[in-house]
Structure 1
């Protein structure tokens, strides 16, 4: 087992979503001759990651196994996820043994080794850490009735990214407590750890290229990023 700064590290890549906003399975879209799925998992499969778990939906198991294991021969374990994101990650956590857990969105294919290391270092030091970028837009708080209730202070508003990383005990207990309360809000693991364990995540500056492919417009941006990366590699 590899030891990273005195800790064993397990990574969970969440790929069990249905992609309803995109209209199709965005993980199977090709970017630069490689699916989003494979590109993301390859990016996370760093030498200092001891275990790499990919949470998937049952209907995609055969296809994802072929792409990641049979063809790409990546060192991953596939785990059937749940209906909610935190339920999928909880199942993925059961398949790990590391004392630091890294969680990353399967549709963020441009994460780098540098970003992963920075999040891991901060999680080791603070218990919980994540990436983000300062908001450049005005974020409004809107009530259920459709009326604006206020605005978030832009100087304190960040747009969250993954990966996020946590001490295993914090993440495990937060999942357990979330399940007991029938937690159903759309959220991320940093919110769960803060809400159920009282531990706020240290936020680090992410990267503008570390986008989440959610809409067809995001895919257009992703293609531009891939073209730039390929051109840079060819010039090197």
Structure 2
């Protein structure tokens, strides 16, 4: 039986949110932001969860998040690093096999359907990323903002999380990038692209799988929660 580990990243400072507390602890729909995605992974067919938190926050998250909200699939809480890729690497140290679904906790509205599509796709491709085709025309520019190209919209995707990989593939790719001290990395798929010859496949997520980053996103997030509550009634 395949093992699927969700590495949930909750180690950021959330400066763009302009709040007194890191955004992962900010209440959305009455509970801390990170709880929404943790509950979804808990309810999914995902085998286990590794939660990556800011330095010094392990006990806080254990008592105020994992125990309080009964996230029983959480097998480890580990401290993250200065950059996102450092935090992912910390999470990878807590496991040693299977498949990995790397998810930003700020994407609070991931669904079990998305997670299950990830689980099916990663067993087929070994490397896949959730995203959605862009709704807008995209322009590529140089540093002076002069337009260089307009790519076909149907081929341009907005990347989301989870980003999903066979464990040895992503671990070996991360080992190489960490050893090279490559600071240009912006997501996990980019690490596989740079450090291996393995293809990365896009799989469909959802336009509501937003990343809560700014105060405006909070209002959008509350609207998504309200819509979901209405669907259940």
Give the TM-score taking structure 2 as reference length.
0.91
SS of the aligned residue for 1:165 comes to strand
Counterparts of 2:142 and 2:99, CA distance in 1: 37
Answering whether residue 42 of structure 2 is matched by residue 45 of structure 1, we say yes
Post-superposition CA distance 1:89-148 (Å, at most 9, x none): 111011013411111111111111111111111111111111111111122333334444
Which one is further off, 213-222 or 184-193?
184-193
- Note if contact 2:44-2:115 (Cα within 8 Å) is conserved in structure 1: no
- Are 2:27 and 1:27 equivalent residues in the alignment? no
Tell me, yes or no, if the aligned pair for 2:44 and 2:116 is still in contact at 8 Å.
Answer: no
Alignment partners' CA distance in 1, 2:132 and 2:9: 21
TM-score (norm 1): 0.90
Please point out which of 9, 14, 28 is paired with 1:14.
Answer: 9
Aligned to 1:78: 77
Structure 2 CA distance for aligned equivalents of residues 142 and 177 of structure 1: 30
Alignment of 1:6-155 (within 5 A): 7-24=2-19, 25-46=22-43, 48-75=45-72, 76=74, 77-155=76-154
> Residue deviations 1:15-70, cap 9 Å, x none?
11111222232212222221111111111124532221011111433432222233
Alignment partners' CA distance in 2, 1:109 and 1:35? 10
Quick one: distance in 2 between partners of 1:181 and 1:111?
A: 33
Q: Say whether the 8 Å CA contact 2:100–2:167 is kept in structure 1.
A: yes
Query: What value does the CA root-mean-square deviation take over the aligned residues?
Result: 1.7
User: How many residue pairs align between the two structures?
Assistant: 229
Do the aligned partners of 1:120 and 1:129 also contact (CA within 8 Å) in 2?
Answer: no
**Which secondary structure state, in structure 2, belongs to the residue aligned with residue 211 of structure 1?**
coil
Distance 1:185 1:151, change over 3 A: farther
Counterpart position of 1:212: 211
In 2, the alpha carbon distance for the partners of 1:141 and 1:147 equals 8
Unaligned runs of 5+ in 1: none
Q: Compared with structure 1, are the counterparts of its residues 181 and 72 closer, same or farther at alpha carbon in structure 2 (3 Å cutoff)?
A: same
